[in-house]
Amino acid sequence: MRISSIQLRTANLPRLRDFYEETLGFEPVDNDGASLELYSDIDREPLVRIEERTDATPRPEFTTGLYHVAFLMPNRKELARILARLAEKRYPLQGFADHGVSEAIYLADPDGNGIELYADRPREEWPRTKKEIEMFTHPLDVENLLLEISENTPDWDGIHPEVTIGHVHLQVSDLANAGEFYHDVLGYDIVQKGFPGALFVSTDGYHHHVGLNTWNSKGAPAAPESSIGLKQLSVETSDLITLRHLQVKFLHKEVAYQEIPSENNSMPSLIVHDPDGTEVKIVVQQRVLVN
């Protein structure tokens, strides 16, 4: 149940393309000039899909939606390399953090969508209490991070092909309602609930695949449909059995959903909405068989 991709809406596709391609180094594929797919590896599924809607308006400040999308670097050196790239491009950063489980850099794209670039520490080094993984926010030792770059470090040639979406963090109106959906309905495990105004959920013992917070959105309405920003999350399940299990759960809990039939040898998928209206598309992992 990992986040496989996100879909964004923009009023200025060329501006976002320039940022994600030239600054962060994703590989773009245009679709008729009205939408864009961004890849870390062209042989894999796209991580970000962007659709242009010329009448899209800025997302109102006090609304629910995307807090940030977090791109997971394969190692600490790649985090240092992309930080150096951002410095080279003089791109404004919003902050740095050591979360114990990971080290992170924060910024926003030209539309204001929050972005986290991070690298995990080894799981055996994650701080833990008796009951849960412990995440905190301490200052990041930026100078130490940049020591990962040496004379032998290759020149920048784009984002690393193993980069994935590690997690997505959402602004929600009610933490209990959002937690019930992602935990009780979608089946994520609650990883940390002691952080004020926030809840973190995941599968497979990860520190979090979805973060939920009400820091600036408690009681807020959903953003208008025409707003710039997050349009859809895609969540990847391991197999068709898991998908059907979720479908039965939706029926049992009277959660409205839409099934997208399979076509062109692809698996079917489900679309559901969380309590704040965020569209979640549940897809089955497409495995590549090697002889």
Distance CA 74, CA 80 (A): 11
Q: Is the pLDDT of residue 288 over 60?
A: no
Residues facing 164 on adjacent strands: 72
84 phi/psi in degrees, rounded to 5: -65, -35
Which residues, including other chains, have CB under 8 Å from residue 117's CB and lie 6 or more apart? Answer: 70, 71, 73, 79, 82, 83, 104, 105, 106, 107
Parallel/antiparallel/unpaired status of strands 279-284 and 229-237: parallel
Beta bridge partner(s), residue 192 = 200
Per-residue confidence at 15, pLDDT binned at 50, 70, 90? very high
CA–CA distance, 91 with 108 (Å, rounded to integer): 10
Residue 108 CA neighbour count, 13 Å, CB half: 9
209-223 burial: b if 16+ Cβ within 10 Å, else e: bbbbbbeebeebebb
Domains defined for the chain, CATH in brackets: 2-284 (3.10.180.10)
For 162-194, what is each residue's pLDDT tens digit?
999 999 999 999 999 999 999 999 999 999 998
Task: Give pLDDT tens digits for 225-282.
Answer: 999 999 999 999 989 999 999 999 999 999 999 999 877 767 899 999 999 999 999 9
Rounded Cα–Cα distance for residues 212 and 206 (Å): 15
Write out pLDDT tens, residues 210-219.
999 999 999 9
Residue 114 vs residues 30, 42, 71, 95, 155: alpha-carbon distances, Å = 23, 24, 11, 11, 27
User: What is the dihedral sign for C-alpha 100, 165, 201, 242?
Assistant: negative
Helices (H) and strands (E) in the chain, counts: 5, 16
CA dist 197 and 165 (Å) reads: 23
Q: What is the pLDDT of residues 109-157, one digit of tens each?
A: 999 999 999 999 999 999 998 878 999 999 999 999 999 999 898 889 9
Q: What is residue 289's predicted lDDT score, i.e. its pLDDT?
A: 35
Predicted confidence (pLDDT) per residue in 24-81, tens digit:
999 999 988 789 999 999 999 999 999 999 999 999 999 999 999 999 999 999 999 9
- Output Rg (C-alpha) for the chain, integer angstroms: 19
